[in-house]
């Protein structure tokens, strides 16, 4: 959520920056009238309350002198009715303002490339070389089916499309990756482990920016105002909702494993095969709460933490700086890490690392205090996938496949898989 005072004082500048996102900003034009009316009502209410206090004193003085105060009593009753009417309208205006502010995206950072869509994203760096095969490389879904380690057909029977059963060494590979990533981030990168709830309430989903705008993308629990989490970002960020943190406690760094649930509304026909776009998938998430002046340095650090996973797995990847039109609703700046997938002959997203500045913190009321008696400030929040597990499995199967149909297990994972070196 944007700072209302900043928006008021810099409206033209903010609107100009937001237009590069390519979103419909017609609702934004209502802000000026709503904000002006809110201030009028606040000023009018304060004026009426001051008048009521003055009249009340006059009534008391007249009664003390045993004089007629009926006219003043009638006047005070009328003032009270006006205050009540003003308060009712003020509440309505403030609700409309909040609803409006909740639909306005974050302001892109000045370093974000200006562009319309993914074609305008800018490559920041690349690591590793794509494998060269002397035979026709197979897609991960074919590799996994031949090895009998993934079963999409039976998952579709049990649940529906975009679900999967992991079996045997497939299940063990998934579990090995989760443990490897959690250990790496906790032991080497200094994050505190968390295992969060898999459901979040409406307030939490609003705090991180999934609601109200993207409710159709979420799975809602029938008869409950709960949602299956689309990412551990939601519960972990809201862990500190309405908190005032001490400056010496920052940064706070959490790593969380969870299942993630997404309806994939609007993605019909895209990535219909394999693990790339599932309704349910596992993910390791990195979340940080930091001082505002450190957040862009931390974005580079956090992105590097996610990259380290791919480097240790020896999977080729690139880092893309997302342009204004492909930035997402909540981020001020975002990097996508994309892993090489031979079946696509292209890179596919495996992690998004974002700096939200105070956008989420303002929605969720997460603040810190520099000194004991100083006014609290909003923290900056950041998060990133460290990594999406299913997509990592697909990358390993495709990049480590052998001509005989077997798959070499990355060396760094072998201790997590009982010393096994090959999936066959």
φ, ψ dihedrals at 41, nearest 5°: -65, -40
Give domain status of residue 109, yes or no: no
Find, among 115, 100, 107, 143, the residue nearest to 18 by Cα. Answer: 107
Annotated binding site: 231-233, 262-264, 285, 349-352, 383, 385
Residues 27 and 131 reside in one and the same domain:
no
* Reported pTM: 0.93
Q: What is the DSSP letter of 184?
A: I
CB atoms within 10 A of CB 293: 8
CA distance 385 to 414: 23
Find, among 233, 224, 227, the residue nearest to 364 by Cα. Answer: 233
Residues 269 and 129 reside in one and the same domain:
yes
Determine the 3-state secondary structure of 391 from DSSP. helix
Residues in the chain, how many? 424
Domain boundary among 103, 134, 156: 103
Give domain status of residue 299, yes or no: yes
Residues 181 and 83 reside in one and the same domain:
no
What is the model's pLDDT at position 69? Answer: 78
Annotated binding site for ATP: 262-264, 349-352
Q: Which residues pair with 285 in a beta bridge?
A: 256, 385
Domain that holds residue 188: 118-423
Told to judge if 162 belongs to the known catalytic residues of this protein, a careful annotator would answer no
Pairing of strands 377-378, 367-369: antiparallel
- Contacts of 357-362 with CB under 8 Å at 24 or more apart are 357/106, 357/109, 357/292, 357/295, 357/332, 358/3, 358/292, 359/1, 359/2, 359/106, 359/209, 359/330, 359/332, 360/207, 360/208, 360/209, 360/237, 360/330, 361/289, 362/1, 362/2, 362/3
Task: Give the DSSP letter string of 19-54.
Answer: HTTT---GGGGHHHHHHHHHHHHHHHHHHHHHHHHH
Beta-carbon contacts of residue 68 (< 8 Å; ≥ 6 apart): 62
pLDDT in tens, 335-364: 999 999 999 999 999 999 999 999 999 999
In the structure encoding, which two tokens stand for residue 4, read together?
Answer: 């209302």
Give domain status of residue 76, yes or no: yes
Residues 294 and 387 reside in one and the same domain:
yes
What is the model's pLDDT at position 266? Answer: 62
Residues 20 and 164 reside in one and the same domain:
no
Consecutive H or E run containing 346: strand 346-355
Catalytic residue selected from 363, 391, 394, 398: 391
What is the model's pLDDT at position 265? Answer: 66
Catalytic residue selected from 343, 352, 354, 394: 352
Told to judge if 370 belongs to the known catalytic residues of this protein, a careful annotator would answer no
CA distance 179 to 168: 17
Catalytic residue selected from 89, 94, 349, 377: 349
Told to judge if 161 belongs to the known catalytic residues of this protein, a careful annotator would answer no
What is the model's pLDDT at position 400? Answer: 99
Catalytic residue selected from 52, 162, 172, 262: 262
Dihedral sign, Cα of residue 236, residue 237, residue 241, residue 243: positive
Told to judge if 262 belongs to the known catalytic residues of this protein, a careful annotator would answer yes
Longest dimension (CA), the chain: 108
Catalytic residue selected from 8, 38, 175, 277: 277
Residues 204 and 278 reside in one and the same domain:
yes
Q: Which residues pair with 255 in a beta bridge?
A: 193, 286
CATH number for the domain that contains residue 58: 1.10.287.40
Residues 99 and 122 reside in one and the same domain:
no
Place of tokens 């005072």: 5
**What residue ranges of the chain have pLDDT lower than 70?**
265-270
Domain boundary among 68, 103, 138: 103
CA distance 141 to 138: 8
Residues 230 and 91 reside in one and the same domain:
no
Pairing of strands 244-246, 367-369: parallel
Give domain status of residue 108, yes or no: no
Annotated binding site for L-serine: 231-233, 262, 285, 383, 385
What is the model's pLDDT at position 271? Answer: 75
Domain count, the chain: 2
CATH number for the domain that contains residue 124: 3.30.930.10
In the structure encoding, which two tokens stand for residue 105, read together?
Answer: 């995206």
Residues 89 and 169 reside in one and the same domain:
no
Determine the 3-state secondary structure of 375 from DSSP. coil
Told to judge if 414 belongs to the known catalytic residues of this protein, a careful annotator would answer no
């Amino acid at each position: 959520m944007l700072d209302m005072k900043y928006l008021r004082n810099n409206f033209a500048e903010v609107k100009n920056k937001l237009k590069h996102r390519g979103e419909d900003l017609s609702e934004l034009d209502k802000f000026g009238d709503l904000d002006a009316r809110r201030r009028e009502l606040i000023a009018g209410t304060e004026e009426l309350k001051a008048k009521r206090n003055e009249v009340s004193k006059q009534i008391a003085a007249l009664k003390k002198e045993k004089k007629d105060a009926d006219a003043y009593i009638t006047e005070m009753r009328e003032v009270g009715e006006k205050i009540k009417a003003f308060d009712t309208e003020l509440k309505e205006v403030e609700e409309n303002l909040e609803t409006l502010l909740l639909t306005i995206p974050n302001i892109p950072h000045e370093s974000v490339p200006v562009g319309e869509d993914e074609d305008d994203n800018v490559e920041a760096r690349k690591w590793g070389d794509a494998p060269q095969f002397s035979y026709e490389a197979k897609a991960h879904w074919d590799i996994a089916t031949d090895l009998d380690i993934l079963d999409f057909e039976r998952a579709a029977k049990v649940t529906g499309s975009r679900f999967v059963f992991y079996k045997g060494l497939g299940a063990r590979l998934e579990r090995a990756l989760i443990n490897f990533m959690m250990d790496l981030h906790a032991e080497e990168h200094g994050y505190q482990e968390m295992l969060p709830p898999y459901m979040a309430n409406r307030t939490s989903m609003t705090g991180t920016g999934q609601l109200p705008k993207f409710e159709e993308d979420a799975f809602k629990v029938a008869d409950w105002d709960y949602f299956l989490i689309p990412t551990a970002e939601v519960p972990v960020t809201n862990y500190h909702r309405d908190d005032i943190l001490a400056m010496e406690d920052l940064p706070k760094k959490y790593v969380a494993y969870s299942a993630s649930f997404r309806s994939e509304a609007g993605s019909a026909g895209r990535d219909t095969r394999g693990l790339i776009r599932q309704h349910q998938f596992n993910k390791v998430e990195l979340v940080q709460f930091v001082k505002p002046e450190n957040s862009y340095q931390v974005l580079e650090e956090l992105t590097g933490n996610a990259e380290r996973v791919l480097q240790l797995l020896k999977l080729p990847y690139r880092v893309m700086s997302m342009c204004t039109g492909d930035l997402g609703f909540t981020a001020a700046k975002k990097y996508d890490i994309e892993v090489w997938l031979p079946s696509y002959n292209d890179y596919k997203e495996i992690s998004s690392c974002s700096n939200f500045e105070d956008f989420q913190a303002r929605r969720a009321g997460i603040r810190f205090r520099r000194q004991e008696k100083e006014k609290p400030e909003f923290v900056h929040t950041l998060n990133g996938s460290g990594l999406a597990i299913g997509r990592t499995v697909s990358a390993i199967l495709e990049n480590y496949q052998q001509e005989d149909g077997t798959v070499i297990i990355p060396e760094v994972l072998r201790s997590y898989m009982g010393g096994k070196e090959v999936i066959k």
